[in-house]
Amino acid sequence: MRTACFQMDVAFGDPDANARRVSDRIAEAASMGVSLAVFPEAVLTGYCVEACEAAQAVALQVREGPGHEVVSAPEPVLAVRDACERHGVHAVFGFAGRDDAQLYNGAILAEPDGGMRLFRKVHLPELGLDKFVAPGNDLPVFETALGRIGILVCFDLRVPEAARVLALRGADLIVLPTNWPEGADFAADFMAPVRAAENKVFLAACNRVGEEGGFRFIGKSGIYGVGGQTLAKAGDGEETILADLDLSLARNKRNVVIPGRYESTVFSCRRPDLYGPIVGGNGDGF
């Protein structure tokens, strides 16, 4: 399965222009034989707001139904969906969202059959849009024609349990739309490949570039193999990176270094009986 991360700049508050650019890149993806195109966090809307009113103004009204299916969306989202249908490409793209009850930071998985499924960012830093949104309450794994795909958004990567839950639920690939600004190099260079290796899954992280609201974004998108190896890595400008993934490799959770002498497993060696403190509190006292 050929996967592409489209590292790009974003026009703040102009979802129509951003949707056109995303749609153009989906067409490019098809011409390169790409099955899954990944775009940055908040690529349709921009991210850097300083007040709740600004977050509400930039957010797109996207509602979901059972199974995280998108049941209504505005034209910029539908334009990207239509591009996926037209070109036979799956895509994951981010946006500032709202429904009838709250603001959220969302990412949509759009499929060539016209289906769209929504993930809401679960872990929120005290920064930009995330200061004003409600957190998501689920870590779903989506069954697709390509394989089992889990989505995290940016800061979700910092909490190791999130990627572990997706892997335990059978994800072959974790897709990470992100907005890594200056100062987030450690996440881009080390956390992303480690999350792939510790869960033996593929991971595709797509960052943005450019400047917005006083922040500069660092790029460094990457696609990583089940051993944490770098399959493709971007620099700090607009760039497209590609990698061919054999998702069946993520379903074998046994590591064999020397057959019969040096082997290990990712999950069966776990000791959940010892991990109570992980879910017993938020650790604010430490």
Q: Is 52 a catalytic residue?
A: no
Provide the β-strand partners of residue 281: none
Edge-to-edge, what's the strand order for the sheet holding 141-143? 141-143, 148-151, 173-177, 202-206, 222-224, 230-233
Among residues 5, 48, 154, 206, the one annotated as catalytic is 154
Give exposure, 58-69, as e/b (b: 16+ Cβ within 10 Å).
Answer: bbbebebeeebe
Q: Is 111 a catalytic residue?
A: no
Among residues 48, 64, 121, 206, the one annotated as catalytic is 121
Cβ atoms of 243 and 255 closer than 8 Å: no
Cβ atoms of 244 and 232 closer than 8 Å: no
Among residues 5, 41, 206, 233, the one annotated as catalytic is 41
Structure tokens at 93: 């793209």
Structure tokens at 20: 């056109």
Provide the β-strand partners of residue 94: 107
Q: Is 200 a catalytic residue?
A: no
Largest Cα–Cα distance of the chain, in whole Å? 61
Active-site residue numbers? 41, 121, 154
